[in-house]
Chains A and B, each alone.
Chain A
Amino acid sequence: MSQPRIELRSVTKSFARRDGSLNVVAGIDLALAAGEFVCLLGPSGSGKSTILNLIAGLDAASSGEVLVDGAPVAEPSRRCVLVFQEYGIFPWATVRENIALGLRDRTTSEIESTVKRYVELVGLQGFEDVYPGELSGGMKQRVAVARALAVQPHIMLMDEPFGALDSLTRLSMRAELLRIWEREKTTILFVTHDVDEALQLADRIVILSPRPAKIVEEVAVELAHPRDVAGPEYGRIKRRLYERLGVSHAI
């Protein structure tokens, strides 16, 4: 493999607490190649979001190294953008202003054409001057995705971005994300606790243990998109994931 886009070398993270320190990440080694789509799959509260914050430079690791394009991460950067579950977009700004957030150093005409392009990419034409409060949950999430894509990041870190959506919207957002990923060739690290979501999206699924997070197993998913969710291979991997998450007896 050539130089990985993202590389974590024995990364740990603990937070100081009143009752001692809380160990959240306990030694993670992980590498993502450019253009790869990887899902971090693990139970809630297992430190998945913490790992994304470390890669985004919003938090510093307690030990180990976090590298992006071979260089240690020191501060947040527009090349590596974090997409949250809904609330990352600004309710006081219009869809246009939200998408233009990362484009402040461009000329007016550049901003205009970039915003137009990404509004079209996520299908929000006609909503440019609307405030987020008037949009549905799915549309807000699309604004967040468009805002991230507009800065043409090398990396998108997605923290359960579709968690707050209803199941039908979630399905169509997944399809849209894959379409965008295939076109923009962005490296995506996607956090979820939904086995099906991971299986439908990722090239590779990294299973994390409960806190403190450690990698339990990495599973490659070599199925072409769109994936047949009723196919035998899909079912086989799914059973294996549930087994590794320790809930195989429940289904």
Chain B
Amino acid sequence: MGVWPYITIAVAVLVFVLGTRLSRSVTRIAFPFATAAIVVAAWRISCHLMEYDLRFPDGTVKRIPVFPTPFETVAAMVDMFRDGTIFRYTIASLYRVAVGFTIACVVGIPLGLWMGWSLRAHDALNPLVQALRPISPIAWIPLAILWFGIKDAAAIYIVVISSTFPIVTGAMAAVHTIPVAYVRSARNFGVSGFELYRRVLFPASLPQILISMRIALGVSWMVIVAAEMIAVESGLGYLIMDSRNANNYARVVGGMLCIGLVGWSLDWSMRRLERLDEVRWGFSKIV
């Protein structure tokens, strides 16, 4: 292993110590790298500590690694990148999340707004929503396979289930917090019926709806991996399960890293939407 992990940790700690005296513009670049360096170094050291000696009957001794090192993982990722596995499976997972999440938005936003505004719609549907909401999307996998088979539709169904409820609940709660002055003004200027949804209820709720969409997308990305381990034969979840069955743990960890990076960029894109003029008024200016 050498001493590089220990040197790396020492350098990263030094960066943190010096960083307290540096400007924010330096630390916002340097600190994430220092944190990453410590994690990678600690990872490498723990691989070393977990290795053990296996004695064969003929007297030979072999060092057995338990866990892939950072380099083995990166090599596996480069490998999967070259043969197109990562690309293909990421697209497969993203496709399922995109379709499922879109269905959830198209169904969930109007339903939530309606349940938030109409007391009778709330009376009729809220018990159903609140009873279905706590059921883990994972618990739906057997039924999804039964209904849709080992196909995309099963995984998409799981995504729809996992993202519809946060969106419905978020949109409903958003309507409940609309200042009464907006609704009164709208009624005063003759806005009613569908127009009230289009001109007031939807735009007034949009900042909060966006937050619940962000949560729903995060949940979907977590759930799709679980669904793909069981319900389909492609995607990043399948990649992890398949690599594990092949006893290739470098690929398992490489797949996990890939899931993390894609999930991060999905969340980043959702946060970019918060800057649009139509919703910026609803977000604090602190960050």
User: With A and B bound together, what is the CA distance between A87 and B200 in angstroms?
Assistant: 13
Choose from A92, A101, A147 the contact partner of B278 (Cβ within 8 Å).
A92
Q: Contact flags (1/0) for A182-212 with B, using CB distance below 8 Å?
A: 0000000000000000000000000000000
Contacts of B184 in A (CB 8 A): 53, 58, 82, 84, 88
User: With A and B bound together, what is the CA distance between A138 and B280 in angstroms?
Assistant: 21
Those of A105-162 within 8 Å (CB) of chain B: 131-133, 147, 151
Instruction: Say which one of A18-26, A27-35, A73-81, A237-245 lies at the interface with B.
Output: A73-81
Total residues of chain A contacting the partner, CB 8 A = 24
Give the nearest-CB partner of A75 in chain B: B187
The distance from the CB of B109 to the nearest CB of chain A, in whole angstroms, is 15
Asked whether, in the complex, the Cβ of B280 is within 8 Å of the Cβ of A133, the reply is: yes
Asked whether, in the complex, the Cβ of B190 is within 8 Å of the Cβ of A84, the reply is: no
Q: Does B181 contact A (CB under 8 A)?
A: yes
Asked whether, in the complex, the Cβ of A82 is within 8 Å of the Cβ of B188, the reply is: yes
Contacts of A93 in B (CB 8 A): 203
Asked whether, in the complex, the Cβ of B200 is within 8 Å of the Cβ of A78, the reply is: no
| Also in contact, A92 and B206, with CB within 8 A (given A87-B179, A133-B281) | yes
Q: Contact flags (1/0) for A156-174 with B, using CB distance below 8 Å?
A: 0000000000000000000
Give the nearest-CB partner of B181 in chain A: A87
User: With A and B bound together, what is the CA distance between A89 and B189 in angstroms?
Assistant: 12
Contacts of B173 in A (CB 8 A): none
Which range contains the number of B residues in contact with the other chain? 20 to 34
The distance from the CB of A121 to the nearest CB of chain B, in whole angstroms, is 18
The distance from the CB of B234 to the nearest CB of chain A, in whole angstroms, is 41
Contacts of B190 in A (CB 8 A): 76-78, 102, 104
Q: Does B185 contact A (CB under 8 A)?
A: yes
User: With A and B bound together, what is the CA distance between A91 and B157 in angstroms?
Assistant: 37
Give the nearest-CB partner of B188 in chain A: A76
Q: Does A56 contact B (CB under 8 A)?
A: yes
Choose from B182, B188, B203, B280 the contact partner of A56 (Cβ within 8 Å).
B188
Those of B189-238 within 8 Å (CB) of chain A: 189-191, 195, 199-200, 203-204, 206
The distance from the CB of A248 to the nearest CB of chain B, in whole angstroms, is 35
Asked whether, in the complex, the Cβ of A151 is within 8 Å of the Cβ of B189, the reply is: yes
Q: Contact flags (1/0) for B158-186 with A, using CB distance below 8 Å?
A: 00000000000000000000010110111
The distance from the CB of B230 to the nearest CB of chain A, in whole angstroms, is 42
Q: Does B279 contact A (CB under 8 A)?
A: yes
The distance from the CB of A231 to the nearest CB of chain B, in whole angstroms, is 38
The distance from the CB of A74 to the nearest CB of chain B, in whole angstroms, is 13
User: With A and B bound together, what is the CA distance between A93 and B281 in angstroms?
Assistant: 10
Give the nearest-CB partner of B280 in chain A: A133
The distance from the CB of A27 to the nearest CB of chain B, in whole angstroms, is 25
Give the nearest-CB partner of A129 in chain B: B277
Contacts of B204 in A (CB 8 A): 90, 92
Contacts of B279 in A (CB 8 A): 92
The distance from the CB of B277 to the nearest CB of chain A, in whole angstroms, is 6
User: With A and B bound together, what is the CA distance between A82 and B277 in angstroms?
Assistant: 27
Asked whether, in the complex, the Cβ of B281 is within 8 Å of the Cβ of A88, the reply is: no
User: With A and B bound together, what is the CA distance between A78 and B281 in angstroms?
Assistant: 27
Asked whether, in the complex, the Cβ of A84 is within 8 Å of the Cβ of B185, the reply is: yes
User: With A and B bound together, what is the CA distance between A94 and B204 in angstroms?
Assistant: 14
User: With A and B bound together, what is the CA distance between A137 and B181 in angstroms?
Assistant: 16
- Add 17 more A-B contacts to A90-B185, A133-B281 (CB < 8 A): A53-B184, A58-B187, A76-B187, A78-B188, A78-B190, A82-B184, A82-B188, A84-B181, A87-B182, A90-B203, A92-B204, A92-B278, A92-B281, A101-B186, A101-B189, A104-B191, A131-B277
Binding site for A on B (CB under 8 A): 179, 181-182, 184-191, 195, 199-200, 203-204, 206, 277-282
List of 6 A-B pairs having minimum Cβ-Cβ separation, nearest first: A91-B281, A102-B189, A92-B203, A88-B185, A87-B181, A133-B281
21 contacts between A and B (CB under 8 A): A53-B184, A76-B190, A78-B188, A88-B181, A90-B182, A90-B199, A90-B203, A92-B203, A92-B278, A92-B279, A92-B282, A101-B185, A101-B189, A101-B199, A104-B190, A104-B191, A104-B195, A131-B280, A133-B281, A147-B189, A151-B189
